[in-house]
Amino acid sequence: MSVLPYVEFAKKAFAREATYRIEVLTEIGSLVLRVYILRALWTALYARNAAPLNLPLHSMITYATIAMLMSLILEVDGTRLIREKIREGTIATDLMKPISPALFFFSDGLGQTALHALLILPALLLAVLMVRIDVPSVWALSMFAVSFGLGYCVNFVLNFCMNCIAFWTLETFALQLIVRWCSDLLSGQVIPLLFFPGVLAK
């Protein structure tokens, strides 16, 4: 099986998402604003309360910033096209093409993700200037990259399975919204796991 068609699908998805330059610039500005708001929020909370488990403020800001930037990548869902194609009826022609539907949607999502990753870079550089972010060791950074890659694949499979339910229900938005909220909460993105009670914190 050749991977070249899927590389082209990813390139087209990247170009499609980058078409509107004003939207791209606005996205970068919104990322910087979110980082500033996170910094202001945790600074205010720490000013009124003692540090939980002796966790310093800059470590908490680092955690919150990285979690927010990661969520912006994981929220990219290339498989949402499945339910749109099912409603329009064009999924039938896609299934007859000599390509893997799963790999097509994966490559399309990968192209969108690549653009979002590029948007995050300038926001992350500006965030380093606004807040003190702990720089991890090379080993920790490499393990983070591997873990994030595995998480991205799991996220794709989950979204793919949920959107395939549209073959029977035609709509999966509500289900995906519930799953997204639960995953955001239980992953520690909204509230750090240190604040969870008892067994949930582990």
**pLDDT interval class at 142 (50, 70, 90):** very high
190 in Cβ contact with 68 (< 8 Å): no
Residue 43: how many other CB atoms lie within 10 Å = 13
Provide mean pLDDT across the span 181-187. Answer: 82
pLDDT attached to residue 53: 64
- Look over the chain and give the mean of its residue pLDDT values, rounded to a whole number: 82
Tell me the backbone φ, ψ of residue 168, rounded to 5 degrees: -105, -35
- pLDDT at residue 143 in the model: 92
CA 3, 144, 16, 159 torsion-angle sign: positive
DSSP state string for 127-179: HHHHS--PPPPHHHHHHHHHHHHHHHHHHHHHHHHHHHTHHHHS--HHHHHHH
- Residue ranges in the chain assigned as alpha helix (H): 4-17, 21-48, 57-74, 80-88, 91-96, 101-130, 138-164, 166-169, 173-186
7: left (phi > 0), else alpha (psi -120 to 50), else beta? alpha
Q: Is the pLDDT of residue 121 over 90?
A: no
Greatest mean pLDDT among 34-38, 120-124, 126-130: 34-38
The residue with greater pLDDT, 155 or 132, is 155
Model confidence band, residue 150 (pLDDT cutoffs 50, 70, 90) = very high
| Top-ranked range on mean pLDDT: pick from 1-5, 74-78, 99-103 | 99-103
Q: Does residue 132 carry a pLDDT above 90?
A: no
Least confident residue range of 17-21, 37-41, 49-53 = 49-53
Tokens in use for 80? 């949402």
